Structure formats: structure tokens, C-alpha cells
Chain A
């Protein structure tokens, strides 16, 4: 049974006060707010890399803002490496990554170097990680920029589908694609502008 995600006491110079949030198991929450570095800083802290520990309990899988893949190498090979880093065996990582890319219609593209892929596609391909690992909690920072409308819609469907096994926190400056499909929480900019 998934445990959800809870963090408290996150603060940043660009936002008002301290942010605390609790996600129920299998819940999708979009945390939105002013543009700025606060999202990156929050993702960094949630990954346990920041100055203070804000997550109680096991940390979530965190996909920080793209670029997540080296532009000079094959996307598929890098996804395999990252799946292995997250606990899958080499054989299983390879077969699962190939299967996922095939199901998403990316078989031909995934072998190409990331730098040669259309904009937005590398970020889309990284969604293979939470989709295949199904961790208890996932944080994805700004997952949709650069994607075409069709690709962004498919990415949103994948993120919503993750709630079958995980609690999902999306950090996004523009939550419009999630309206009516997720709980949306807003942080306020310092000075009172939302």
C-alpha cells in the first residue's frame, strides 16, 4: 500500500511563508505559483539534496526540470541506465524500456541521440521512469514545456495513470492542462501576487 507524500517547512525568497503539503496515497496534486527558482529548489529539497530535510519518511522519486538526458547519447540507453539506478536488473531495464517506448510509438525515435529529437520528446521519454518503476511517491518538476499539444495531453494521461500505484506531485507554473483532473494548490509570490 502506498504511503503518500508529506513535506513541511519549505521556504524560498520568492514565495510567501513556508509551504507544507500532504498527499494522500494515489492522489495527484499540482503545486503552482509564480515563475522563478522556487520549483527547482523545492524539487531539489524533496530529493534530499538541499540544505534542509523537509520530507518525513521515505523520499519520493524526483524528476527535476529537463534536461534530464545527455543530448549526445541515445535516449533509450540512458533510460535503461536510469532504470538500473532505480533498482531494475539490466535485462529487465532493457526489455521494459523497449516495451514502453514501443507502446508509446517511439520505437524508432528512442534509439536516436537526445539532441536530435523534437523538442519536448526527451522530457516525455523520461516519464518512462515513474511509469515503469511505480514508486510510492513521485515528484515531477515542470513536465510539459516544449511538448506539442498531443504529446502534452498524452503526458498528462500518463501522469494521471501513475496514481494507480503512486502519489504524484506536479510542480508547474501553468496548471491549465490539469484543471478538473487534479487537486491544484497555489503558493503565493512574496508581496501577495499569486
Chain B
């Protein structure tokens, strides 16, 4: 399997201008943690459950906010990167190379996911080093949930980048992610209920984050996010192949 598109995407995404937004991770993380600790008005967006254990709550708050911030920045970078890549004449010209058609889509999306995951892993490592992990803390579930969040963001930004220009892809992603956050149940009783079929249409971002912050991991919500990410990845791949086949060089400048 040729890694041509992987190298191309890596060179573009590792340019200083594409990496620069990740420098915002530390200040945004500090801001979100501070706001959620001190500003009551934030509770309408992410109504925190009382942590089962204050130490768990502190670590959970830091790890989940790191995941949210990394996913936010990954989405912003992705919705700028994918439309400008998939829509450019030089990229379409490269499809004539013997490097695989589907690879043009999935390798490009994979690089974006891997770079975002590296940033998130480094942030997590710093948090875990600074805050001792107490015995019994659901670390694996928390990290898996954070990865589900990032995977959903990366797959959806590639999918949206195929359908719309940068501003449109950004609006789509922001709208769905915001709706997924605020649609979270506001009470502990409601959060304890299993996800219904109707809930599956919306990404259960808020539900997973709120329960995760309380040290009460929601594996079902994480699995739903993984499933939705897989759906967007496969749908994006099919649409990409169809657009190559039907539209030809209609995208050319």
C-alpha cells in the first residue's frame, strides 16, 4: 500500500501554521477548568455532577477538559484543512498517480487524527504527571472516552470538509458538537438511564463528558461515538469515491 497521501498530509499538517493552534491547548485548558470550577453559569452547558470523590473529580475535570479542548482545536484545524485539500486542483491531479483512490481520503484523515491524538496524549501525560492518579480512578475508561471524542471530531471534520467549504464545514461541525454537548441530561437520574434509540442520532458528547468528569464512565456513549465516527468515515469514503467517479475534474480551478 502506497503511503503517498499519508506523507503529503503529514507535510501539510505539520507545517507551523497548521500546528500553531495547538499552542492554545494550555491556556484554553486552564480557562475551561477555571470556569467550570468557579462560574455557575457554565452549568447550563456542562452541568457537573458532584464528584464521587474530590480527588477523582479534580483529575477527571482536567483530563476531560483536555479532551474537549484538543477535540475543539482538532475540529477547527480539520475544517480548515480538509476543504482546502479535497477541493484543490493539485490534490485532484494527484489522484491520477498510482497511489490508490480511497487512500487519498482515509490516509489524509488518519494523519489529522494521529497528530491530534499526539497532542492530546502529551497533554494527558502532563496532567497525569502533575496530578497523582488515585487508586480506583477509571483511567482507561477516561482515556478511551477522550479518544472517542477525538475520533468523532476527526472523522466528522473530514466528512464535513468533503461536503462544504471551510466556513460551512466549521458551522456543521460546531452546530452538531454544540448540540451534542447541551443535549446532555441535566440530572443524575436522567444520566443513569441508558441511551435510547432516539439519542443515537445525536453524538452523546455531553452525557459522556459529564459522567466521565464525575468518575462514572459511560462505555455505551463511548461506543456510540466510535460507531458514529465509523459511520462518518465510511460515508465520507464512499462520497469521495463517488465524487471522483462522477465529477471528474469538476473541482479543478
By a beta-carbon cutoff of 8 Å, the part of chain A in contact with chain B is 37, 40-41, 43-44, 47, 49-51, 61-73, 77-78, 81-82, 84-87
Contacts and interface: CB of A to CB of B under 8 A. Distances in A.
A72 B15 contact: yes
B88 A85 contact: no
Contacts of B97: 82, 85-86
A43 B249 CA distance: 10
13 contacts: A40-B249, A49-B244, A50-B245, A50-B248, A51-B246, A65-B249, A65-B252, A66-B89, A69-B90, A70-B8, A73-B11, A85-B94, A85-B98
Given A47-B95, A66-B89, 4 more contacts: A63-B96, A65-B93, A70-B88, A71-B90
Contacts, number: 76
Contacts of B92: 64
Interface of B: 2, 4, 7-8, 11-12, 15, 88-99, 101, 244-246, 248-249, 252-253
Nearest to B252: A40
Nearest to B85: A70
B234 to A, nearest CB: 21
Task: List 5 tightest A-B contacts by C-beta distance, closest first.
Answer: A85-B4, A47-B96, A85-B99, A62-B96, A44-B248
A67 B249 contact: no
B99 A67 contact: no
Q: In this complex, which of B91, B98, B253 has the most chain A Cβ atoms within 10 angstroms of its Cβ?
A: B98
Contact of A81 (B7, B91, B248): B7
B91 to A, nearest CB: 8
B246 A64 contact: no
Contacts of B98: 61, 85-87
A85 B101 CA distance: 12
